[in-house]
Amino acid sequence: MYFFIARQPIFDSNMSVVAYELLFRNSEKNIFPAIDPNIATSRMIDGITSVDDWNSILQHKTAYINFTAEAVIQELPLTLPRKKIVVELLESAEPTPELLKAVIKLHNQGYKVALDDYEHNPAWEPFLPYIHSVKIETPLIAPQKLLQICNRLQHFSHLILLAEKIETQQDYLQAKSLGFEHFQGYFFCKPEMFKSRFLGHSHAALLKVIKEINQDEISADKVVQACEGDLRLSVKLLRYVNSALFTRTVPINSIKHAVSFLGKRELQRFVYLTLTTYATSERLFEVIKISLTRARFSELWAQQAYRAELSDKAFLGGMLSVVDAVLGTDMETIIESISLSEPLKNILLKRDGPIGLCLVLLEKIERAEWQQVDTLLPQLNIGAELTSKLYNEASLWAEARLMILQDKEVV
């Protein structure tokens, strides 16, 4: 049995991550929705409990996990740690007396319960005193009806209102104006929401290094000079090259030695990693994790299922696929500033070719759009089991690199 785990961040109004929704897909293609949903839930719990390190997935945050009404009545959430989860009742649940009794029991035992895809139904009101949060797909509800729902929920002051399917700045601002406190959706990956606030001296130095290392014949002296022009970049480079990621006979104490030791390929990798880590918010860290995971997955996919000689290009395509959201600048401007090749431009702008299609696959995994994942896998010459293995490996790789570049210990 193997699992995909899509992890979608949930933000507060300060753009801090307060939780993740975990969306699971196991190795049996028909598990959602063709088989009994309670069997699916049981298998999902088996998958959750088999995860060795919750913190590597959750980063010490809470996990929203979907449960059917039947699973809640059967008390399946009690098999999971109450301090780490929010029991999310699926929209298919009916407000029965049996379910209310089960929700009250969960509440009394310290579990938090959320209602998914909530639209006001008086039959749910007896549940609300025992509910932690209400999830509403705000962009899909007419404004007048949405206002009525919000006004009604204000009578339950303990409730957290969570806006789902937030894709644009307008979606976000509308939900915030109605009193929503938490937000979920891919708005956090949209550069237009976060206009350039980080294109300072450090980014200028990095872009200069990137331009140098993208030359067919790179000049080590020019690369060293560009790196030495920024103290923060120099410190990160020395920390990176002296980390547990590499085997050395002696410590490396100079930028010139570091550039020589790494070589062009690893230097490119370091620079692109560093470009994504000049961040000052949790929103950006989430984008960075996506960037690193995409880069490593694309590289592994190229090595094992496509063309190994193109793994560097696949890595770079994955790494830069959300750089516009990191820098708060449109992709075309960034591409021109670092002199990328025409094929790579088309990968990033048009999702062109097999590498571009690999990026589309990753976007579908991130959104837990499993049917479209199934459609794309044969086109990429890769099976579901290998995809799951590589994706999990890429996620762990991303976490390890991110910790090093954020000056944390790798455990």
pLDDT in tens, 98-133: 999 999 999 999 999 999 999 888 999 999 999 999
Question: What's the pLDDT score for residue 280?
Answer: 57
Asked whether 406 and 277 are in contact (CB, 8 A), the reply is yes
Going from the C-alpha of 72 to that of each of 42, 174, 320, the distances in angstroms are: 11, 33, 42
The residues, any chain, with a CB within 8 Å of residue 46's CB and separated by 6 or more, are 1
The pLDDT tens digits for 141-188 are 999 999 999 999 999 999 999 999 999 888 999 999 999 999 999 888
Residues of the chain scoring pLDDT < 50: 27-34, 196-199, 408-411
**Can you tell me the distance from the alpha carbon of 410 to that of 198, in angstroms, rounded to the nearest whole number?**
26
Q: Which residue shows structure tokens 């007048």?
A: 144
CATH topology identical between 3-189 and 201-405: no
Q: Phi first, then psi: what are they for 318, rounded to 5°?
A: -65, -45
Q: Could you confirm whether domain 201-405 is CATH 1.10.3210.10?
A: yes
The domain locations on the chain are: 3-189, 201-405
Q: Which fold has domain 3-189?
A: TIM Barrel (3.20.20)
3-state secondary structure of 250: coil
Which has the closest alpha carbon to 352: 314, 304, 297? 314
Which has the closest alpha carbon to 176: 152, 201, 150? 150
The pTM assigned to this predicted structure is 0.76
The first and second tokens of residue 134, run together, are 């209400």
Asked whether 348 and 335 are in contact (CB, 8 A), the reply is yes
- The CB density around residue 167, as the number of other CB atoms within 10 Å, is 13
